[in-house]
Amino acid sequence: MQFYLATSFLFPRSLRLRLFSLCFIATHLPLVGYLVWGFAGGRIMLGEFLFLTAMTVVGTGIALIGIGALLTPIQALASALQPGTTKSETLPEVGDMIRSLYTGLDRAARETGDRIDRLHRAAHEDALTGIANRRGFLAHLAQRPDGRKKGCVALIDIDYFKRVNDLRGHEEGDRVLVAFATRLSALVRRADLVARWGGEEFAIFFEDCIEDEASWTLARIAAQLRDRPISEVHGRPISFSAGIARWNGADIGEAIARADAALYDAKQQGRDRISRAMPSPQNA
């Protein structure tokens, strides 16, 4: 380490050039020694000098090429550690120091990338249903280009879900949540986004839709839940209430608040229904 620090003045930003410089100096020491000895004794012979010079140049070239080739795996590893790189080369089983370094750093990079991916999924994905959670829903909308930030937001609440847990147990409640999330995801378009908002509440963003289209889609989902129930309570199929609000790409929080108010109205009107929010001043 001390030698590494002591030679840092030679090309401080390039280890390759530093090694090349040290190699060049080391391979020319015999030639320098011959010149000093020759001049001191007056015995320099032109043929010997030219031959020694040529061999020194050849040796230097071989050494520089060899060092460059030996440093290639480290350069490849440095490139593999750059963001966006998903694959690195595999070195043969030779067991030397560079391979050990390469393997260790490559493994660490892969594990770190996997850990980051897991943390990102945990932060943006609902563990039970496998769909986006509230944070993931909002992050996805925020990352959309401006041209894809218009449509309708719906908040959905499973009716009398507490009775499912109370009468049939929490395992059945979890199964209902998973089945409901699956049903929602299967019956919307690929461009739409389904998320678990929290508890038994879900959210859907209907891209480039007006209220009529979003309401029709939700009504179709409600009809299928009646025809093919995911569960029943007191002999009645599981149903839902929903509130829909138009979003023009501005403040998503304002659109969600209006959808939540419409959902409250749907519950107050007897549940198992879809309510539309009042237009916002921006859309009026």
Structure tokens at 82: 């750059």
Beta bridge partners of 125: 132
Amino acid at site 26:
A
Do the beta carbons of residue 246 and residue 152 sit within 8 Å? yes
* 113 phi-psi bin (left φ>0, alpha ψ -120 to 50, beta other): alpha
Phi-psi region of 272 (alpha: psi -120 to 50; beta: other; left: phi over 0): left
Of the candidates 111, 200, 207, 254, the residue annotated as catalytic is 200
Do 266 and 274 form a contact (C-beta atoms < 8 A)? yes
Residues in contact with 181: Cβ distance below 8 Å, sequence separation at least 6, in sequence order:
126, 129, 130, 131, 194, 196, 202
Task: Please state, as a whole number, how many other Cβ atoms lie within 10 Å of the Cβ of residue 140.
Answer: 14
Distance CA 252, CA 149 (A): 9
Residue type, 58: V
Is residue 200 flagged as an active site residue? yes
- Identify whether the C-beta of residue 176 lies closer than 8 Å to the C-beta of residue 230: yes
Q: Which residues are catalytically annotated?
A: 200
